[in-house]
Amino acid sequence: MNEANLNTVGDQMHQLITLLYPISRSITGNGVRETLEILKRYISLSIYEVPSGTEAFDWTVPKEWNIRDGYIKNAHGDKIIDYKNSNLHVLQYSGPVHKKVQLAELKEHIYTSPEHPDWIPYRTSYYKEAWGFCMPHNQLISLEEGEYEVFIDSTLENGLLTYAESFIQGELSDEVLIFTHICHPSLCNDNLSGISLCVYLIRNMMQQKCRYSYRFVFAPATIGSIVWLAKNESNVRKIKHGLVCTLVGDTSNFTYKQSRQQNAEIDQIVEYVLQSKPHKIIDFSPYGYDERQFCSPGFNLPVGCLSRATFGKYPEYHTSADNLELVKASALQESLEVFQEVIHVLEANKKFINQNPKGEAMLGKRGLYNTVGANSQNIDFQIALLWIMNASDGSQSLLDIARKANMKFDYIKNAADQLLGCGLLKETA
Amino acid sequence: MNEANLNTVGDQMHQLITLLYPISRSITGNGVRETLEILKRYISLSIYEVPSGTEAFDWTVPKEWNIRDGYIKNAHGDKIIDYKNSNLHVLQYSGPVHKKVQLAELKEHIYTSPEHPDWIPYRTSYYKEAWGFCMPHNQLISLEEGEYEVFIDSTLENGLLTYAESFIQGELSDEVLIFTHICHPSLCNDNLSGISLCVYLIRNMMQQKCRYSYRFVFAPATIGSIVWLAKNESNVRKIKHGLVCTLVGDTSNFTYKQSRQQNAEIDQIVEYVLQSKPHKIIDFSPYGYDERQFCSPGFNLPVGCLSRATFGKYPEYHTSADNLELVKASALQESLEVFQEVIHVLEANKKFINQNPKGEAMLGKRGLYNTVGANSQNIDFQIALLWIMNASDGSQSLLDIARKANMKFDYIKNAADQLLGCGLLKETA
Amino acid sequence: MNEANLNTVGDQMHQLITLLYPISRSITGNGVRETLEILKRYISLSIYEVPSGTEAFDWTVPKEWNIRDGYIKNAHGDKIIDYKNSNLHVLQYSGPVHKKVQLAELKEHIYTSPEHPDWIPYRTSYYKEAWGFCMPHNQLISLEEGEYEVFIDSTLENGLLTYAESFIQGELSDEVLIFTHICHPSLCNDNLSGISLCVYLIRNMMQQKCRYSYRFVFAPATIGSIVWLAKNESNVRKIKHGLVCTLVGDTSNFTYKQSRQQNAEIDQIVEYVLQSKPHKIIDFSPYGYDERQFCSPGFNLPVGCLSRATFGKYPEYHTSADNLELVKASALQESLEVFQEVIHVLEANKKFINQNPKGEAMLGKRGLYNTVGANSQNIDFQIALLWIMNASDGSQSLLDIARKANMKFDYIKNAADQLLGCGLLKETA
């Protein structure tokens, strides 16, 4: 990437991904700390650490895992795979090992992806002690009989689980939660793209005044959101809307997975914003990313998942091919714009009560009525005014009205602002 | 029209339109009074007058407008347009004027319809003082440079706004409201057709005994319905069903615009009655005719708009081409029949409670069951009886049952009458 | 049928039909008693008799009808029809007669089916005294002028109406009602097929432990279900689900007629079970079989009608062609399997409450999670577990969850059993 391109936000987002790419993250450990320290150069961030063994609902915070090196040497002493080339080569949470094994035994500890025989798969064993390596399937089948030296220099010890929050105080104590997972090592779309998008979204929002308060959570997947929910259980009722942000750097069409509530305001808004682009809406299901936890029946929060590719459904998913080439500056930037537009609509999507509910208000005396002739522009604006006044009985939001009137949200919002200015509308309590 | 044709009600309806066509109506003034006086020859009518300056919700009754003459003369002294040829030639609510102007200035006071260059458009300026003329666009572009004499002999003074009611007392104090606007000058479909239909509908209903009470309101559009609502606010809760009646003389298919409630009983009934004809149903929207006022959120009355052409969507709308040729006797008569059928169903659309709700009633001992053989006519009748008894738990009307049974309303009503006669049904309270 | 084929349940069901076929049943009388005595060889059965004249809601139990003989002889003394050849030849509830009549008078007492001129129709006159015969239409039109001797040796006297119950006590006092009519003489599909299916269903269920209690009612149509409801009115509230069982021996696709409730659990379950076969679902209507009585508005029980052919819509309906050839062993057996599957799902279709509702349960520590690699079989199972835990807030049954997850009921049930075993689910009260 040359410097000239860095003019675009998308390029900057890609550059941050490039910076974070080599770091060896997992659900715990120094890679997460190092990642969050870099993010602190961009945004204000509060970092939290929770000790191994802490209980969180049905779960327990695992030991902290750190890894320094790992390789397999063949009988000639050649390193046939080397952790230093790709941190995907070592099974995540692999314990230390150093011994010589025959090929047959080695194979029991090798993970490959036969469907994509040239890619290294990403595999984990967080909650069961194991050691292992990941490699391209073509390499596995070319291995010759003989003795191999396996070496993993890792530690699995009582330590800490690390996550971070960035909080933007709005006028309301009602919160919007945006969650992004930070536990994957050298995988770009899943989820350096989500991390980078959140960073640039926060930078953008810091410059605005917000109605809602916004809480961005950077945490490991599953255990991270569960720990966060357990520690913040008493504040969860403040969350009025939420999104999980992930897979936002590839060039697929957008995907929106609805919240468990299915027709929550956030669902309606994301669906409205995506209308102008090719996209798909998928029903809530209890597998995927951390919306699983926020949408568990004991919380049932209105949290959807907004991505480009669909969870588990793109070929490069959880392989070494989810790399810096897969994510594009233009795609990242478009994704950022979609999140910004969602927030724009969310901020403005109020409900009003018509202060002159009996008969129409007389627009003419307020300068809002075209007195004699008519041009179609003006007629549309008057129709927008009429829709807002007719529908504003306190039960319908501006987005509801925009959909009924078949007009753009911003057009309706602009008309509502004029009626507000005249005192014809009052925001619902 | 020769006398022989006057045998049909449609011809009589058209003749009344012909009689009213030349009168120069507006939202106030002598043209309205003259129109209502003619209607009093046909039906019983109570006339109400409300002084200029009276407040009605957000509105104020305007000054009364009367006009006696108006013309434009060219430099040769020829009247190039003359109010006496068409009352559309003068902008409604135009103030008086008499002066000489150059073409450039004149053009600022001329309204035309370039899409229909041979027709005079209908334009108004009720709430902003102005003077002006309307003419065919082709005439406008043929005007030569030079001096023109403009003359309008009108008055705009404190006076009265005039409307009328015709009330038919039924068994119930529950009311059906039928509203038709009377403010348009020489325009036939919009709305001499609606006025004529209401007159003949009232004449027809005076001969019947009605369950509901019917209130027909003849008033100017917008300000008239708003004034009526303001003066009758305490009685509005009596209105159980309502229709705005307009555009019923052209030969288009029928259009029904739903009430704001969308699935009110009147909506269901009109949709049922129109099923047998080509027609379209359109969603409620807050622009159109006076249903806007009845369906404002502070009232939200079940009032739809039943017409043939659609508001604003026929070429002759608000032009001199909405004339005596556009409205046809046969179309007027068919429209009258549709309104009569709607009222017929409304009157009969009761809910009943089966007095023998446990198991079927034994039809045989009441002479309602075909004992041995069966002809299909008779089987249908028994099925109708069974449907009514099964569905009559007090929650479903005869129309609901007719739709479930996929039978005609009158067939179900006839069967219900037989069950009523046997004491097997009782009307809900 | 040779003995070898009797290995299948379908063959046994057909054999029972063959045994019952010749018996002269009606809504009362010895034919019903004889039929029920035969069924007692197969299943435990309680027989009830209700005297003529007993009132049951709007109905009165009629006189008991018995018939011994009947014929028509022509002028030559030849029996042109003979009750001993087919019990359909005599109008049901025909009074006794013995006289000579001319052809013209005879014809007033003959019933035929011109659409099917070679078949004897089945006709009744339960509630109006009459005498009559049924014959093929082709025979009727070939009758020559002259004198005929008509003879019916029947009695219509105060007696008893007979019906029976077979009850299977389950864990719950909540009951499932299965009703089958027993009043038709030599008609196989309508309804020896239903009788036979119920007998084999009961035999099968006697070997199982049931959650629900099951009440099978064998009774005459209409008057039988009405009498049963009248005598059991205080226990009707125990009935949580029900089916009318009839027309289950022909080779048509299955038909399910919904209960009046339309979306009762039994409706959902039958529709689920039929999904794997060509079938049709029809809306509730108040004509058909005894679901009419159970679904009368005073009871409104969740009782549908599960059949193959549709009531009144197969050519052989109520004719001599509804015979032993029309019903097939394979069709009977498939129908039995469908009823068994419906009961299987009904028994298992519980609602649960997730005992770990906040965040997901940790499946790994319970041995339910595939730790490293993944085969797709196992992934499906984990998805099933996740669906059940996410949806089990007490409002959704396992069938609801199976439909949401787009998985088979048994697959979901099996997964739920594993979660129950771990204590992660608790059945709703």
**Percent over 90 (pLDDT), chain C:** 93
Question: What is the gyration radius of the CA atoms in chain C, in angstroms?
Answer: 26
Rounded CA-CA distance A118/A137 in Å is 6
Residues in chain C: 429
Rounded CA-CA distance C429/C413 in Å is 18
Give one word for A40, left, alpha or beta, with left for phi > 0 and alpha for psi -120 to 50: alpha
Quick one: pLDDT at residue B362?
94
Quick one: pLDDT at residue A376?
52
With vertex at residue A99, the alpha carbon angle to CA A97 and CA A101, rounded to the nearest 5 degrees, is 120
DSSP B183-215: --SS-IIIIIHHHHHHHHHHHHHTTS--SSEEE
Residues of C in contact with A258 (CB under 8 A): none
Please provide the distance, in angstroms rounded to a whole number, between the alpha carbons at the two ends of chain B: 51
Quick one: pLDDT at residue B7?
84
| Tokens at A221, concatenated | 């997947």
Quick one: pLDDT at residue A378?
79
Chains A–C, number of C-beta pairs less than 8 Å apart:
82
Quick one: pLDDT at residue A364?
86
pLDDT bracket for residue C151 (50, 70, 90): very high
The nearest CA of chain B is from the CA of C178 a distance in Å of: 17
Q: Is the pLDDT of residue C176 over 50?
A: yes
The nearest CA of chain A is from the CA of B294 a distance in Å of: 7
Q: DSSP code of C238?
A: G
The nearest CA of chain B is from the CA of C30 a distance in Å of: 23
Rounded CA-CA distance A305/A244 in Å is 5
Q: Is the pLDDT of residue C248 over 70?
A: yes
Q: Indicate yes or no: CB of C127 within 8 angstroms of CB of B364.
A: yes
Rounded CA-CA distance B311/B376 in Å is 45
Quick one: pLDDT at residue C375?
47
Q: Indicate yes or no: CB of A130 within 8 angstroms of CB of C372.
A: yes
Full-model pTM: 0.93
Let me know: does A94 contact C371? Beta carbons within 8 Å.
Answer: no
Chain A segment 165-184 residues within 8 A of B by beta carbon are: none
Quick one: pLDDT at residue B5?
53
Q: Cβ of C225 under 8 Å from any chain B Cβ?
A: yes
Contacts made by residues B315-320, CB under 8 angstroms, sequence distance 24+ = B315/B116, B316/B119, B316/B189, B317/B190, B318/B121, B318/B122, B318/B187, B318/B190, B319/B88, B319/B113, B319/B116, B319/B119, B319/B120, B319/B121, B319/B122, B320/B86, B320/B88, B320/B119, B320/B120, B320/B121, B320/B122, B320/B186
Q: Indicate yes or no: CB of B357 within 8 angstroms of CB of C127.
A: no
Quick one: pLDDT at residue A359?
97
Q: Indicate yes or no: CB of B359 within 8 angstroms of CB of C230.
A: yes
Quick one: pLDDT at residue B301?
98
Closest by Cβ to C297, choosing from B364, B393, B405:
B393
Mean pLDDT of chain A: 95
Query: Which neighbouring-strand residues pair with B214?
Result: B168, B176
Q: Cβ of B367 under 8 Å from any chain C Cβ?
A: no
Q: Indicate yes or no: CB of A386 within 8 angstroms of CB of B286.
A: yes
Quick one: pLDDT at residue C370?
64
Q: Indicate yes or no: CB of B371 within 8 angstroms of CB of C295.
A: no
Q: Indicate yes or no: CB of B372 within 8 angstroms of CB of C59.
A: no
Q: Which of B235, B161, B248 is nearest to B199 (CA)?
A: B248
The one-letter amino acid code at B12 reads: Q
Q: Indicate yes or no: CB of B360 within 8 angstroms of CB of C229.
A: no
Alpha carbon of residue C109 to chain centroid: 32
The nearest CA of chain A is from the CA of C348 a distance in Å of: 22
Q: Indicate yes or no: CB of B390 within 8 angstroms of CB of C296.
A: yes
Q: Cβ of B382 under 8 Å from any chain C Cβ?
A: yes
The one-letter amino acid code at A237 reads: R
Instruction: Please give the residue of chain B at the shortest CA–CA distance from A380.
Output: B287
Interface test with A, best of B285, B303, B313 (most A CBs within 10 A): B285
Let me know: does A338 contact A247? Beta carbons within 8 Å.
Answer: no
Chains B–C, number of C-beta pairs less than 8 Å apart:
82
Residues of A in contact with B295 (CB under 8 A): 390
- C360-418 pLDDT, tens digit per residue, is 999 988 888 765 444 455 789 999 999 999 999 999 999 999 999 999 999 999 999 99
Chain A segment 275-334 residues within 8 A of B by beta carbon are: none
- Number of other CB atoms surrounding residue C388 within 10 Å: 27
Quick one: pLDDT at residue A5?
52
- B7-25 pLDDT, tens digit per residue, is 899 999 999 999 999 999 9
Rounded CA-CA distance B364/C125 in Å is 11
Closest by Cβ to B130, choosing from A365, A372, A390:
A372
In the numeric block, the tokens 């595939």 are attached to C370
Alpha carbon of residue C135 to chain centroid: 28
C contact chains, 3+ CB pairs < 8 A: A, B
Rounded CA-CA distance A202/A224 in Å is 20
Closest by Cβ to A371, choosing from B128, B287, B292:
B128
Average pLDDT over residues C137-154: 97
Question: Which residue numbers in chain A have pLDDT < 70?
Answer: 1-6, 370-377
The nearest CA of chain A is from the CA of B334 a distance in Å of: 32
Let me know: does B61 contact B51? Beta carbons within 8 Å.
Answer: yes
Alpha carbon of residue B176 to chain centroid: 13
The nearest CA of chain C is from the CA of A387 a distance in Å of: 37
Q: Is the pLDDT of residue C421 over 60?
A: yes
Chain A segment 326-365 residues within 8 A of B by beta carbon are: 354, 356-362, 364-365
Question: Which residue numbers in chain B have pLDDT < 70?
Answer: 1-6, 370-377
The nearest CA of chain B is from the CA of C123 a distance in Å of: 7
Burial C209-219 (b: 16+ CB within 10 A, else e): ebebbbbbbbb
- B154-173 pLDDT, tens digit per residue, is 999 999 999 999 999 999 99
Closest by Cβ to A358, choosing from B57, B132, B286:
B57
The nearest CA of chain A is from the CA of B297 a distance in Å of: 5
Quick one: pLDDT at residue C374?
45
Q: Indicate yes or no: CB of A364 within 8 angstroms of CB of B128.
A: yes
Instruction: Please give the residue of chain C at the shortest CA–CA distance from A92.
Output: C372
Let me know: does A86 contact A118? Beta carbons within 8 Å.
Answer: no
Residues of A in contact with C365 (CB under 8 A): 127
Chain C segment 61-100 residues within 8 A of B by beta carbon are: 91
Q: Cβ of A59 under 8 Å from any chain C Cβ?
A: yes
Q: Indicate yes or no: CB of A124 within 8 angstroms of CB of C364.
A: no
Average pLDDT over residues C272-293: 97
Rounded CA-CA distance C310/A369 in Å is 63
Q: Indicate yes or no: CB of A292 within 8 angstroms of CB of C386.
A: yes
Chains A–B, number of C-beta pairs less than 8 Å apart:
82
Rounded CA-CA distance B278/B400 in Å is 22
Q: Indicate yes or no: CB of A56 within 8 angstroms of CB of C359.
A: yes
Rounded CA-CA distance C387/B402 in Å is 42
The phi, psi pair for B162, rounded to 5°, reads: -115, 135
**Percent over 70 (pLDDT), chain C:** 97
Q: Is the pLDDT of residue C1 over 50?
A: no
C369, burial (CB in 10 Å: exposed 0-12, middle 13-18, buried 19+): middle
Quick one: pLDDT at residue C369?
76
